[in-house]
């Protein structure tokens, strides 16, 4: 059963899908960690694979950049492919002096300057949050692995080039960092009655810019985050 954006048949995806933004990161995860990985989607070059990790069936598919893009793919996975859990494995820019390059952010909540939730016609402001069970398990896995991490709010921005340079205004409210997708993912999960979590590796820092990573490093070196997400599946 193909959708406008996914060519897979029903049943091709596992109940848990890891969702990086970058199709090359999706390919890297599949080829590095999954056994018997099969390409189940390649519409618009958005690679989706299903295989097994330590005997458990897992899928990984890219989301593209921004809330509209992950909004489309996560909606179709939840509603048309019976996916139960989507774990975003992305990168973020850090606002926090407690976070350095390659540290991990577990996004308990996702603030946004976007308007994605307006479609629900709610009589107030919706707070997009992760599934607590996934957050709790991710914390346990990070503790066991001995990685540096923080749990808290992240900003899902609709702008990469922000003319007002407003990022540090969010930092005043304790927001840990910025990415571009999680709020829409959390909204879709809430509306579908499904589960979602965003785990991000710090790729850039507003505090320590000398630590900023390259595009190639973002594709292939954020392995602690990938391994934690795979164990959540």
- Catalytic option among 22, 103, 158, 204: 204
204 is catalytic: yes
User: Is the Cα dihedral 103, 69, 122, 82 positive or negative?
Assistant: negative
Residues assigned a catalytic role: 204
């Amino acid at each position: 059963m193909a959708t406008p954006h996914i060519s897979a048949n029903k049943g091709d995806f596992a109940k848990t899908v890891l969702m990086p933004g970058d199709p090359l990161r999706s390919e890297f995860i599949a080829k590095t960690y999954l056994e018997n990985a099969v390409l189940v989607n390649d519409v618009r070059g958005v690679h989706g694979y299903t295989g097994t990790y330590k005997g458990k069936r897992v899928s990984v598919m890219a989301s593209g950049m921004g809330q509209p893009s992950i909004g489309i793919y996560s909606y179709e996975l939840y509603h048309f492919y019976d996916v139960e859990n989507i774990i975003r494995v992305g990168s973020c820019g850090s606002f926090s002096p407690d976070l350095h390059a390659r540290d991990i952010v577990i996004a308990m909540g996702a603030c946004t300057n976007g308007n994605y939730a307006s479609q629900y016609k709610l009589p107030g402001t919706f707070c997009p949050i992760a599934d607590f069970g996934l957050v709790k398990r991710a914390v346990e896995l990070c503790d066991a692995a001995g990685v540096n991490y923080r749990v808290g709010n992240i900003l899902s921005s609709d702008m990469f080039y922000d003319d007002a340079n407003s990022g540090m205004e969010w930092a005043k409210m304790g927001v840990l960092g910025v990415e571009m997708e999680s709020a829409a993912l959390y909204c879709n999960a809430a509306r579908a009655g499904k589960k979602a979590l965003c785990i991000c590796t710090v790729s850039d820092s507003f505090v320590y810019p000398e630590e900023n990573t390259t595009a190639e490093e973002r594709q292939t070196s954020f392995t602690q985050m990938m391994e934690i997400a795979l164990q959540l599946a």
